[in-house]
Amino acid sequence: MLALGSLAAWALALALLCLLAMELWGPGGGSWLPSREPGGAGEEEDGDNVIGDGGPGAGRCRLICKSSALAQSLLRSLRRSAALQSGRWLWRTWPQLQTMFQLLFPPTHQPELARELLQLADGGLVALDWVMGPRGTGRRSRATIAFGTAPVLLVLPNASGKVTRGVLHLCLLALEQGYKPVIFNRRGHNGSPLASLKLQAFGDPGDLKEAVTYIRVRQPGSSLCAVSEGSGSGLLLSYLGECGSSSYLAAAACISPVFRCQAWLETGCPWLYEWSLLLHQKQGLSRYATALAEVVETGRLFRSRSLRELEETLFCQTKSHPVTWDAYWDRNDPLREVDEAAVPVLCICSADDPVRGPPASTLPMELFHSSPYFFLLLTPHGGHCGFLREGSCSWSHEVMLEYFTAVAEFFRTEERLKGLHRYRRGVLQKREASSTACHLQEIFSWQRSYTR
């Protein structure tokens, strides 16, 4: 009898062959979606914000955002990016294969991780996995120069807690460039112990707030950046919206974010992606089946056939405080307070994302046009969290790290100019005050004396 791992490998190989057949011979196989902005963008903005002519699977990218000095600085930085100037390659028009490769294939290099279990205020536990190695050359990187000290990079996996090949590659690349990467694992995810009968809801940032506070205490001199992958962006966007200017983040980024999460779960995503995430989440929850039986119907939980059914069983159909599906999303919609976000956020999305869905109905274009903090890098190709190029690396990771550095350099320059302006204004005011005092003394031949 074949081992369970061998059966899974054969099933994955068969699924990939099916996907390849669909790409080659299915309706529209081998084609790619146009790079025009969904929702009717103007031609002037389309031409002004175009980046590159044929990147590494990206095609003609566009930066969609509200006009500002920071936006112009980021646009110049992206146009200089080497990651967006490589040549074309074979997989660029196959979003399904890019998606499956990044999300389902095991990583070639497993980094060294040091796990910390953080006890929360209610007794629950979350796990912080600090990436320790392998390290780079030890040179002082551009990131360290831009931020002053080695910044911390907080990485949020997708909502199912799956640490994918893309997440691990991002952590290794960030480590080489001088960051201190740390992966945030929710309660019960990725081997994190379930110390209380409470799981973290989709858009509840309470646990993340405590984790950020702890990281600031542990790394008091380091700036903090955050990045999320896929559906994990719901947690990051909720955190940014609730905390506003008190988020303690220097910048944030979302790779293939899912914005309208309720509609996404109701519609469903491609069966192989949904099946893999559902299986991964059930496997993690099965460790705590006896304890969870006190609060949820575990039979219904493990018979769930969709991510929506699993989410609804865990958080809506509880034994103690059941709520309706719509009421649950009133409190967990990632966009509920997104207008309060007060740090720059770069969202890297592809028009051919098979998991998120069509751009016209899944991307909140009004947010990027109205908020000065949100920037959308929209590409015609890349799949979901794929963005692959030669060497099976993701160009989105390099662009994201360059973005963090560009933001840090922009604000350092702004602070330096403001400091110079304050200095000049102070000198000018002193000169004006001295001149006025002399003029007054000429008019009035007396000086005021002070007595104690």
Catalytic residue among 189, 353, 381, 397: 353
Phi, then psi, of 117 in degrees rounded to 5: -100, 120
CA 215, chain centre distance (Å): 18
The verdict on whether omega for the bond into residue 134 sits within 30 degrees of 0, i.e. cis, is yes
Taking the C-alpha atoms of residue 117 and residue 409, their distance in angstroms, rounded to an integer, is: 34
The token pair at 184 is 């945030």
The phi-psi region of residue 414 (left if phi > 0; otherwise alpha if psi is between -120 and 50; otherwise beta) is alpha
What's at 141, amino acid-wise?
S
The token pair at 32 is 């790619």
Catalytic residue among 169, 381, 384, 397: 384
Q: Three-state SS for 18?
A: helix
Taking the C-alpha atoms of residue 419 and residue 428, their distance in angstroms, rounded to an integer, is: 14
b/e for 195-220, b at 16 or more Cβ within 10 A?
Answer: beebbbbbbbbbbbbbbbebbeeebe
The token pair at 173 is 């690349």
Could you tell me which residues are beta bridge partners of residue 116? 128
Question: Is residue 384 flagged as an active site residue?
Answer: yes
Of the candidates 101, 127, 124, the residue with the CA atom closest to the CA atom of residue 114: 127
CA angle 73/79/80 to nearest 5° reads 95
Q: Which residues are catalytic?
A: 353, 384
